[in-house]
Structure 1
Amino acid sequence: MYIYNVTTNIDESIHEQWLSWMQKTHIPQMMATGKFTNAKMCRVLIEEEMGGFTYSVQYATTSKETLQKYYEEDAPKLRQEGLNLFADKMLAFRTELEIVSEH
C-alpha cells in the first residue's frame, strides 16, 4: 500500500474558498479516477513562518504502478485546475510514502 501525500500552504485570503473546493470538488475528482482507495485531509498544526494555513491530503493507492498511471493520465489536468483557481496563493509539495506496517 502506498500513500500519495500532497501538503499545501494556503494564503489566508483564499482559505475558505480553497477548503470548500478541495472537499466538494478536488478530492471527489481524485477519487473518481479510480486510482485511490481512500483519502484523508488533515490540517497541519504548526504555525508557518510564511503565514496561512497548511493541510496534508493523503490518498491511499494499492501499488506504485497505479500511482504512476495517475501521474500519466490524471495529474496534469487536476493540478492545472488548482493552479488556475488559486495561482500564487498556494504552495504545494508532494511526497510518496510506502506503508511498512499498520498497528
Structure 2
Amino acid sequence: MYIVNTSFTVDPRVHDRWLETLRGGYLPSLRMRGLDGIVFTRVLSERTEDHFTYSLQVVLEDMAAYRLYAEEIFPEYAGTARKVFGDRVLWFNSLLKRVEE
C-alpha cells in the first residue's frame, strides 16, 4: 500500500476560496475515481504563521494507481490551482510506502 502526501501552504488572502475549491471540487473528484482512503488535515504549529498549512493523504493500492494519480489526477488539480491561485498556494508531494508493524 502506498500513500501520497501533499503538503499545501496557503496564503491567507486566498485561504477560504482555496479551501472551498478543495472541499467542493478536488476531494469529491478523488472519491468519484474510487479513491476513498483520504485524510485531510491542517498542520498546527506553535509558531505564529503568516500562512495556512495542510496535509492531504491519499491511499493507493499499488504503483499502477500511483502512476495514474501522479500522471493524470494530480496534474489536473495542479493546472487549475496554478491558474486560479498562482503562487499563493504552494505544494509538494511525497510518496510513502506503508510498512507493516
Question: Shorter-chain TM-score: what band?
Answer: 0.7 to 0.9
Partner of 1:60: 59
Gaps of 5+ in 2: none
C-alpha contact 1:4 1:58 (8 A) present in aligned 2: yes
Deviations 1:74-95 (A, max 9, x none): 3322210111111111110110
Asked if residue 24 in structure 1 is aligned to residue 24 in structure 2, the reply is yes
Q: Measure how far apart 1:49 and its partner are.
A: 7.4
Matches within 5 A, 1:1-103: 1-34=1-34, 36-46=35-45, 51-101=50-100
Gaps of 5+ in 1: none
Identity of aligned pairs, percent? 30
Displaced runs of 4 or more, over 4 A:
47-50
Q: Distance in 2 between matches of 1:50 and 1:64?
A: 36
Q: Distance in 1 between matches of 2:51 and 2:44?
A: 12
Q: Measure how far apart 1:55 and its partner are.
A: 0.1
C-alpha contact 2:3 2:59 (8 A) present in aligned 1: yes
C-alpha contact 1:33 1:74 (8 A) present in aligned 2: no
Deviations 1:21-80 (A, max 9, x none): 11111111123233x232111000115776210000000110112111222233322210
Q: How many residues are paired up?
A: 101
Mean Cα displacement is larger for which, 18-27 or 70-79?
A: 70-79
What's the C-alpha RMSD, in Å, of the aligned pairs? 1.9
Residue identity opposite 1:55 in structure 2? Y
Compute the TM-score of the two structures, normalised by the length of structure 1.
Answer: 0.85
Q: Distance in 2 between matches of 1:13 and 1:61?
A: 33
